[in-house]
Amino acid sequence: MAVVPLSLRVASGASTSTSLDWPRHLAARGSPARSRRSLRARARADAGAGTEDVLAHIVRTIRSAKAAGRDPDFFELLGVQVGTDPTAIRSSYRERMRVAHPDVAGSEGHEACVVLNEAYATLMDDELREAYQVERVFGAGVRGMSGLRDAQDLPSDIGAALRRTPYTGEPLSKVVGRDHFASKIETNEQAAKACFVDEITCIGCGQCSTYASGTFRNEQENGRARVFGQWLSTEDEIQEAIDMCPVDCIHWVPKEQLAPLEYVMQHVLTERVGVSLMMSGQGAHRMEDGFQKTREFLKFLSQREEKRDAVLKERKRKAEMKRAREEMMRQQQEQWDQRKKDAWKRANGAGR
């Protein structure tokens, strides 16, 4: 016979006798299942604040990546670093799944679970994880490059520039539409070209900004000329500025070459030799050719795209193989379950 503590019997108004007043005793004690549920509820309440923070971070990461038109970072989602061992990845994944389970977090939990499952499947497979790491680097402005074999051939100055400022493919000078009131474009031939200043050879004389003030400005840090806005001066004004430049540092270039040229000039070749040294004929060994460096930059971009496409293709192939393997295992399991059911039916039929 179960014994009810004296304190419970007194508190509930029960007699101190040992009479078998079962309903009252059970009401005082509560069922074991109910006790376990209440304990779990209290545990969830105690961990509620941290749970909400983790879930909010996961959902925010997913949605911000989607808004930016890219995939979320799987390592960030699972709260692990590159090189983390599978045991730690599994542990972190399970903790997050407990937080993000749809039964706990509702619709936001479903959204989070879909991506968490994909992240876990990718990072737990050695080949998929390696492919993802390369894709993560070459598909995101070459950030976080350390430790990846594919990045070893990257020129250090280009790599440093891309880590600081990702290349967007857009010109850095102001470009207005042909129908803009400030645009001086009159012909298709003019629209197909742009103006570019080789700041390495520029001596900052200011002649260009005098003849075509709408197009040229002198940047403040080194005092070299720079194109402020494309076609904000007439072609005659720009050509006069080009002709009057004493060091021939202003060039007409095809429009499609403008973005890489400006990126290389402003973010890769950042060192400038002092004008006095240049005029005295010194420091030439420190003056790199901006056009040659841009060719190297474009070659790297082309190779990066080829590598990225190859990685994506290989990752897709492996993912398809994995899905096919899982489907085959599922079908085999169904067949096995069906055989067991059939065997039980035959056994029960024979027993009758």
Write down the pLDDT at residue 137: 61
User: What is the three-class DSSP state of 31?
Assistant: coil
Side-chain half-sphere exposure of 290, counting CA atoms within 13 A: 27
Write down the pLDDT at residue 95: 92
Write down the pLDDT at residue 283: 59
The burial class, CB within 10 Å (0-12 / 13-18 / 19+), for 76 is: middle
- Using an 8 Å Cβ cutoff, are 143 and 70 in contact? no
The 3-state secondary structure of 32-97, one letter per residue: HHHHHHHHHHHHHHHCHHHHHHHHHHHHHHHHHHHHCCCCCCHHHHHCCCCCCCHHHHHHHHHHHH
Give DSSP secondary structure letters for 125-138.
Answer: SHHHHHHHHHHHHH
pLDDT digits (tens, 9 = 90+) for 87-115: 999 999 999 988 888 888 888 888 888 88
Write down the pLDDT at residue 108: 84
Alpha carbon distance 21, 30 (integer Å): 14
Alpha carbon distance 299, 313 (integer Å): 21
Alpha carbon distance 138, 312 (integer Å): 11
pTM score over 0.85? no
Give the closest residue to 86 by CA, choosing from 132, 137, 122.
122
What are the residue ranges in the chain where pLDDT is below 70? 1-52, 127, 134-135, 137-155, 278-286, 350-352
Q: How far is CA 1 from CA 14, 18, 21, in A?
A: 17, 10, 12
Write down the pLDDT at residue 216: 96
Q: Which helix (H) or strand (E) holds 1?
A: none
